């Protein structure tokens, strides 16, 4: 990679911290920017002794100033789980709007490549299946999920405006459901919720009848796709996700089996605007980036379960910050 200095907003979050590790492993200098609203120092603490790693505590919605040269700005700052954006709706909208403006201004000032972490949520509850990048989506802007969906859609529009008006070298990636180590046990998403409940022997709560589908991608594969997009001249949007689709009920049963749990399956009300189907069309990523997921889902789930087992003693501190009803937060 010809870009030796990379700034990652939201760098102490689930995906951001894995990106910090990856770029450091490739010999780059990394500036991790986070306000720790949903990120965790524990995710990057092991990187602090690395001289090429720098941690900046800042709210990108307010300002973003990084001295020196930058070759890439990866904008990953945002509450991303239902629990977080339902609890922090205004912060979610601000980071998608003001935060994106500030990150783009930084990239413009430095002449850096800019990569926006967008989401499959821009497709809403899709009427086209699987979802190609050309699909405009079916989003409810006034529903509870709208704060996240519309923040990302606005961020995409802003990114394209900077590309057209200012010539900023931009890229947009749309991330589909991703899982792996460092997910928070109480973040409201399906996999950490199911793993936590299974390990504790609690009922595994499945929304609705569990027939709604998701396509889940192991974090290492997602990071590889992001790095390839950053290294390319592709502007996107580009879907990065695993096209292997399964029902939420099948996922819950699979996790129960892999954990050796005897937990019962308990069905709960389906959240408003919860997508019925979700599967990425990754033709563009395959043809332009030479990317597709490589990690078998079962292998990824076993790695994730093992990580959750090791960190189980720290769950109570996390539970104290979970303010949303986790049985109805959605996936």
Q: What is the pLDDT of residue 320?
A: 52
Q: What is the pLDDT of residue 13?
A: 97
Q: Which residues pair with 138 in a beta bridge?
A: 124
Q: What is the pLDDT of residue 262?
A: 96
Asked whether 162 and 108 are in contact (CB, 8 A), the reply is yes
Q: What is the pLDDT of residue 82?
A: 87
Prediction pTM value: 0.94
Residue 211 phi, psi dihedral angles, 5° rounding: -80, -15
Q: What is the pLDDT along the chain (331 residues), one digit of tens a residue?
A: 445 899 999 999 999 999 999 999 999 999 999 999 999 999 999 999 999 999 999 999 999 999 999 999 999 999 999 889 999 999 999 999 999 999 999 999 999 999 999 999 999 999 999 999 999 999 999 999 999 999 999 999 999 999 999 999 999 999 999 999 999 999 899 999 999 999 999 999 999 999 999 999 999 999 999 999 999 999 999 999 999 999 999 999 999 999 999 999 999 999 988 999 999 999 999 999 999 999 999 999 999 999 999 998 877 656 555 543 333 334 4
Query: What tokens does 81 get?
Result: 């789980």
Residues carrying an active site annotation = 148
Domain 5-178+218-240: homologous superfamily in CATH: NAD(P)-binding Rossmann-like Domain (3.40.50.720)
Query: What tokens does 96 get?
Result: 């998608």
Q: What is the pLDDT of residue 314?
A: 77
C-alpha 234, offset from chain centre? 20
Q: What is the pLDDT of residue 312?
A: 86
CATH class name, domain 183-215+244-276+295-319: alpha beta
- Residues of the chain within CATH 3.40.50.720 domain(s) are 5-178+218-240
Query: What tokens does 305 get?
Result: 């379960």
- Residues of the chain within CATH 3.90.25.10 domain(s) are 183-215+244-276+295-319
Q: Which residues pair with 7 in a beta bridge?
A: 31, 73
Backbone region of residue 147 per phi and psi (left: phi > 0; alpha: psi in -120 to 50; beta: other values): alpha
Query: What tokens does 235 get?
Result: 């502007």
Q: What is the pLDDT of residue 213?
A: 96
Report the 3 state secondary structure along the chain: CCCCEEEEECCCCHHHHHHHHHHHHCCCEEEEEECCCCCCHHHCHHHCCCCCEEEEECCCCCCCCCCCCCCEEEECCCCCCHHHHHHCHHHHHHHHHHHHHHHHHHHHHHCCEEEEEEEHHHHECCCCCCECCCCCCECCCCCCCHHHHHHHHHHHHHHHHHHHHHCCCEEEEEECCEECCCCCCCCCCHHHHHHHHHHHCCCEEEECCCCCEEECEEHHHHHHHHHHHHHCCCCCCEEECCCCEEEHHHHHHHHHHHHCCCCCEEEECCCCCCCCCCCECCHHHHHHHCCCCCCCHHHHHHHHHHHHHHCHHHHHHHHCCCCCCCCCCCC
Q: What is the pLDDT of residue 313?
A: 81
């Amino acid at each position: 990679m010809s870009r030796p200095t990379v700034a990652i907003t939201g760098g102490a979050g689930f995906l951001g911290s894995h990106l910090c590790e990856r770029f450091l492993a490739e010999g780059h200098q990394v500036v991790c920017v986070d306000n720790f609203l949903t990120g965790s120092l524990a995710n990057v603490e092991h990187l602090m002794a690395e001289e090429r790693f720098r941690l900046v505590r800042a709210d990108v919605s307010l300002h973003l100033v990084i001295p020196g040269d930058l070759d890439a700005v990866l904008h990953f700052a945002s509450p991303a789980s239902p629990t977080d954006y339902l609890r922090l709706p205004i912060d979610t909208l601000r980071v998608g709007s003001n935060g994106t403006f500030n990150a783009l201004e930084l990239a413009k000032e430095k002449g850096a490549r800019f990569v926006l972490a967008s989401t499959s949520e821009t497709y809403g509850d899709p009427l086209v299946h699987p979802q190609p990048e050309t699909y405009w989506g079916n989003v409810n802007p006034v529903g509870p999920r709208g704060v996240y969906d519309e923040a990302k859609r606005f961020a995409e529009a802003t990114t394209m405006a900077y590309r057209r008006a200012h010539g900023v070298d931009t890229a947009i990636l749309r991330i589909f459901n991703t899982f792996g180590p460092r997910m928070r046990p109480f973040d409201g998403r399906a996999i950490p919720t199911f793993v936590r409940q299974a390990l504790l022997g609690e009922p595994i709560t499945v929304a609705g009848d569990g027939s709604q589908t998701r396509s889940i991608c192991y974090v290492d594969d997602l990071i590889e796709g992001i790095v390839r997009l950053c290294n390319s001249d592709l502007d996107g949007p580009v879907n990065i996700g695993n096209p292997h689709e399964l029902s939420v009920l099948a996922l819950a049963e699979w996790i129960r089996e892999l954990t050796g749990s005897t937990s019962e399956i308990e069905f709960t009300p389906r959240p408003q605007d919860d997508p019925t189907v979700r599967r990425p069309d990754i033709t563009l990523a395959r043809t332009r980036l030479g990317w597709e997921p490589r990690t078998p889902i079962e292998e990824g789930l076993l790695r994730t379960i093992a990580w959750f087992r090791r960190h189980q003693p720290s769950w109570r501190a996390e539970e104290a910050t979970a303010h949303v009803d986790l049985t109805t937060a959605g996936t």
